[in-house]
Chain A
């Protein structure tokens, strides 16, 4: 009896410790984000207060109102930035996914000369920090006249994302048994039909996760975008945050409000595809 109770108490204590540990870890991850959301609704005085005001006295939409207001009222072209970000991120993600699917499938299914070297080479490009490329890219883009254009940004982001999507999708296709495509071919499919009707739907969880990563990389990227965009025609939202800085002041409230707007599409997208992400690759088609 006593040992039973001690055992039970220890189990309960462990569970509580586990919970506290998780709470602390989650707090460290979430508090900066929450702080941004909170600050976007607070008056500047409160944001700048020292010591910090943890519990807000007043919440309002002033920063949002100002942000969407005209020039001179602290307004920035939010909708234009949003559109730029959307066009650049969505287009570059679609292209990176298509190339990634082709490349990933080829690496997973076919044997060809120099395959290993090519794969390592592709991965090595990820080892170069993006910001180190910004100056060469700037010079190159300026020479061929694609600086400050959607096309230039899309090109840069596709190049950045393709090695990653190829690598990720290759891994997912490797988990799709070769026999599925073979069974489809025997069932009357062409190679192409076997891919689209069988292999693609089975690997779509992996392709969706590659898509999310590619989209978020493009959507949040700042270092390259700040060099390669100049005007409202191509500036993306992260670069737009800089509009809130001026020579002597920083409009933290406005910056936070724009950051919140930036987070929303990413959150929506993650929610939409999380079913696929969680479903993962739990196959039942072959003996597991």
Chain B
């Protein structure tokens, strides 16, 4: 087990810089998820930790060793790839034992390690099959088995669930979490799926265009996003973002609707801001959580509903923008029906309209 440290790590392809001097400290046994949209540099960062990409600048440390110039085989890592990368000409048993065979361990030791891993991942009946004879979920488990056989310092996962269907993905997510609890190993996990990030991570690193936007626990990044990007990327449905201006000590939307300034924000008179509120904090009167101290009320016409069972997602219009709200204990709502909504200002956010940075103090 080991910590991983990135110190001003840079990646350039010719003149094109894809990772911009990022710094990250991952504690021993921590599960860190790098999340962001395609092309944000998260996979490149992971591959630099793995040694599959050269590091153009800065340092990568595993434990207290600088590993910049070490080949992958000397870093004592294991990696699970998006397409599994199982060796197609080897049986599951050979796939699992390959790294130990390369390390010239005794056959009995290899057999024991393979059997243990197969037991943990319920692969024992499949040991003599070839990867081509396995289903997607089974292949994924073999790929994970291949990683745990080696008892590496750090596990790297590169979008390991994106090739699975929705049901299997949920199932494997639980398996990965259990595996982490069992092995207590350091894990760096890359995904573009914010739900995976939220459910798996001890800490989430949100990346965008080669920069780190925010690092924090899942609740921190959900409740206190540093930027509009984080606010809209994390959470489903994404946070509603309404352009507004500060006037008369209140937040005024483009159609003149005004709210009190959400507590904990520092704004200036006349400042252009973006008012952010999650669907969970906009609810029709009578179908919401008990009122908090700072509540605003607003009438909106409902355009569309998405019943989800225990709650219904409402699509309404406010200040010329589509706003998503939630209705607890739902009742049928007709399209065009005007409802009064309560907005929980304690949980709302203000961002600078120009920089997108949070104005929370």
- Interface, chain A (partner B; CB < 8 A): 177, 179-180, 182-190, 193, 197-198, 201-202, 282-287
Cβ of B191 to closest chain A Cβ, rounded Å: 16
Q: Is there an interface contact between B83 and A284, defined as CB atoms closer than 8 Å?
A: no
Given contact pairs A189-B102, A201-B89, A182 touches B81 in the complex (Cβ within 8 A): yes
B117-146 CB mask vs A (1 if < 8 Å, else 0) is 000000000000011111010010000001
Given contact pairs A188-B99, A284-B131, A202 touches B88 in the complex (Cβ within 8 A): yes
Given contact pairs A283-B132, A284-B132, A287-B163, A184 touches B103 in the complex (Cβ within 8 A): no
Q: Is there an interface contact between B85 and A180, defined as CB atoms closer than 8 Å?
A: yes
Interface centre among B82, B86, B146 (most CB of A within 10 A): B86
Q: Is there an interface contact between A287 and B73, defined as CB atoms closer than 8 Å?
A: no
Q: Is there an interface contact between B85 and A286, defined as CB atoms closer than 8 Å?
A: yes
Query: Which 8 A-B pairs have CB atoms at the shortest separation, nearest pair first?
Result: A284-B132, A285-B88, A179-B85, A187-B99, A286-B83, A183-B85, A188-B102, A285-B86
Q: Is there an interface contact between B133 and A284, defined as CB atoms closer than 8 Å?
A: yes
Q: Which residues of B contact A180 (CB under 8 A)?
A: 85, 87-88
Q: Is there an interface contact between B84 and A185, defined as CB atoms closer than 8 Å?
A: no
Given contact pairs A186-B79, A202-B88, A284 touches B103 in the complex (Cβ within 8 A): no
Cβ of A126 to closest chain B Cβ, rounded Å: 31
Interface centre among A179, A198, A283 (most CB of B within 10 A): A179
Q: Which residues of B contact A183 (CB under 8 A)?
A: 79, 81, 85-87, 146
Q: Is there an interface contact between B52 and A188, defined as CB atoms closer than 8 Å?
A: no
Q: Is there an interface contact between A177 and B83, defined as CB atoms closer than 8 Å?
A: yes
- Interface, chain B (partner A; CB < 8 A): 50-52, 71-73, 77-79, 81-89, 98-99, 102-103, 130-134, 136, 139, 146, 150, 163
Cβ of B66 to closest chain A Cβ, rounded Å: 19
Given contact pairs A187-B98, A284-B131, A284-B132, A179 touches B73 in the complex (Cβ within 8 A): no
Given contact pairs A282-B132, A283-B132, A287-B136, A185 touches B83 in the complex (Cβ within 8 A): no
Cβ of A242 to closest chain B Cβ, rounded Å: 46
Q: Which residues of B contact A284 (CB under 8 A)?
A: 86, 88, 130-134, 139
Q: Which residues of B contact A282 (CB under 8 A)?
A: 132
Given contact pairs A177-B83, A193-B102, A198-B87, A285 touches B131 in the complex (Cβ within 8 A): yes
Q: Is there an interface contact between A287 and B83, defined as CB atoms closer than 8 Å?
A: yes
B83 interface neighbour in A179, A186, A188, A198, Cβ under 8 Å: A179
Q: Which residues of A contact B103 (CB under 8 A)?
A: 188
Q: Is there an interface contact between A185 and B163, defined as CB atoms closer than 8 Å?
A: no
Find the B residue at minimum CB distance from A286: B83
Q: Which residues of A contact B84 (CB under 8 A)?
A: 285-287
Q: Which residues of A contact B52 (CB under 8 A)?
A: 182, 185-186
Q: Is there an interface contact between A186 and B87, defined as CB atoms closer than 8 Å?
A: no
Cβ of B81 to closest chain A Cβ, rounded Å: 5
Assembled-state Cα–Cα distance A202/B134 (Å)? 18
Assembled-state Cα–Cα distance A184/B77 (Å)? 12
Q: Is there an interface contact between B131 and A188, defined as CB atoms closer than 8 Å?
A: no
15 A-B pairs (CB sep. < 8 Å): A179-B83, A180-B85, A182-B50, A182-B52, A182-B81, A183-B81, A183-B146, A186-B50, A186-B78, A187-B150, A188-B102, A189-B102, A284-B139, A285-B87, A287-B83
Assembled-state Cα–Cα distance A123/B87 (Å)? 32
Q: Is there an interface contact between B85 and A177, defined as CB atoms closer than 8 Å?
A: yes
Interface centre among A179, A197, A198, A285 (most CB of B within 10 A): A285
Find the B residue at minimum CB distance from A180: B85
Assembled-state Cα–Cα distance A187/B97 (Å)? 10
Assembled-state Cα–Cα distance A190/B50 (Å)? 14
Assembled-state Cα–Cα distance A283/B51 (Å)? 26
Assembled-state Cα–Cα distance A104/B86 (Å)? 23
Assembled-state Cα–Cα distance A26/B91 (Å)? 40
Assembled-state Cα–Cα distance A177/B72 (Å)? 18
Q: Is there an interface contact between B77 and A186, defined as CB atoms closer than 8 Å?
A: yes
A185 interface neighbour in B73, B82, B87, B134, Cβ under 8 Å: B73
Cβ of A189 to closest chain B Cβ, rounded Å: 6
Assembled-state Cα–Cα distance A201/B89 (Å)? 7
Q: Which residues of B contact A184 (CB under 8 A)?
A: 87, 98
Cβ of A287 to closest chain B Cβ, rounded Å: 4
Assembled-state Cα–Cα distance A283/B103 (Å)? 26
A186 interface neighbour in B73, B130, B133, B139, Cβ under 8 Å: B73
Q: Is there an interface contact between B73 and A188, defined as CB atoms closer than 8 Å?
A: yes
Q: Is there an interface contact between B79 and A283, defined as CB atoms closer than 8 Å?
A: no
Q: What would 13 more interface pairs be, CB under 8 Å, given A186-B51, A189-B73? A: A179-B81, A180-B87, A182-B85, A183-B81, A183-B87, A186-B72, A186-B77, A193-B102, A202-B87, A284-B88, A285-B132, A286-B88, A287-B163
Given contact pairs A284-B132, A284-B133, A285-B88, A185 touches B81 in the complex (Cβ within 8 A): no
Cβ of B101 to closest chain A Cβ, rounded Å: 9
